[in-house]
Amino acid sequence: MIGRITRAIRRRVGPAEWEYVPEGWARATADGASPLRGWDVDSVAQAYGTRLPEFERLVGGTEPLAIPTSASVAGTPPNVNDQNTILVFAYALTRAWARRGEDAVSVLDFGGGFGFSAFLARALLPEAVAVDYHVSEVPTVCHAARRAVPSVTFTSDAAFDGQHFDLVMASNALQYVSDWESTVRRLVGANERLLLLAAVPTVASVPSFVVLQRTRGYRFDTEYLSWVFNRDELVDAVTTADGSLALEREFLQSARPEIPRAPEPPHTRAFLFERRP
């Protein structure tokens, strides 16, 4: 009887949000596997567009800067986790501006959605500081964002290769790239002064592994694979990419996704790397 009830509940509510994927990225191409839609879908772009007016209003007001910069949720009460993420960005942005020593700063935001952090940058810095903000995103999001946020430059694929920025950041983004080591090298190559990796799920005692997240409980219905990084493996990849970056500051962040049967529970962190003179 209990077994029948449990199976009925599972059929009604569907599979869990998080799943440990021991075969890693091979899941995406496995015979018989359901196709993974990932981030390059209309529902993600639509969710960002729906959130845009609300985000602009909140940044321009007097409420706490404690709101998510993702597309997944709206109407969320201010919370410490999102405030932490924004303060980490503020720390990195102001240091990059100070390192440049001029009334200007340039930012590359890898996986930055509709460029919500560009509005934060404008609110955080003095009005006289010119902010040259670039977002690297999937084509579907870029297409919609260019019309909605003309003040930000949106590019996809490898369009930022060969360019240099005062601050390069990937917040809640690097883990969704299968060949993350190659992406790290590209981000390091585009970095002039500081590199920020934020909202990164990490573990300490096991190698990096892969998980699947389903988003039916959020504002878009898709699913994607992502990495949970071994903390030392990630830091070493950045600092050895061209030998010029050193870890300047590490931040603890409060998000701790619960992933059944994962080798180790992940803890979200942020890392700020500084280019040596």
| 39-93 pLDDT per residue, tens | 888 888 988 998 899 889 889 889 888 888 887 655 567 888 889 999 999 999 9
In a domain, 13, yes or no: no
What domain range includes position 260? 33-275
Under the banding of pLDDT at 50, 70 and 90, the label for residue 32 is low
What does the pLDDT read at residue 5? 43
- Give me 70's structure tokens: 């993702």
> What is d(CA 127, CA 86) in angstroms, rounded to the nearest whole number?
19
Q: Is 60 exceeded by the pLDDT of residue 4?
A: no
What does the pLDDT read at residue 3? 45
In a domain, 12, yes or no: no
> What is d(CA 216, CA 229) in angstroms, rounded to the nearest whole number?
24
Q: What are the pLDDT digits (tens) for 128-145?
A: 999 999 999 999 999 999
In a domain, 9, yes or no: no
Rounded to 10 deg, the angle between the 139-148 and 42-60 helix axes is 40
In a domain, 61, yes or no: yes
What does the pLDDT read at residue 8? 41
Residue 49: give its domain's CATH number.
3.40.50.150
> What is d(CA 175, CA 180) in angstroms, rounded to the nearest whole number?
7
**3-state DSSP assignment of residue 184:** helix
What does the pLDDT read at residue 73? 57
β-bridge partners, 131: 105
pTM: 0.90
Mean local confidence (pLDDT), 143-159: 91
Residue of 190, 195, 184 lying closest to 241 (CA atoms)? 184
In a domain, 48, yes or no: yes
> What is d(CA 240, CA 236) in angstroms, rounded to the nearest whole number?
6
Number of domains observed in the structure of the chain: 1
In a domain, 27, yes or no: no
Please tell me which residue, 137 or 38, carries the higher pLDDT value.
Answer: 137
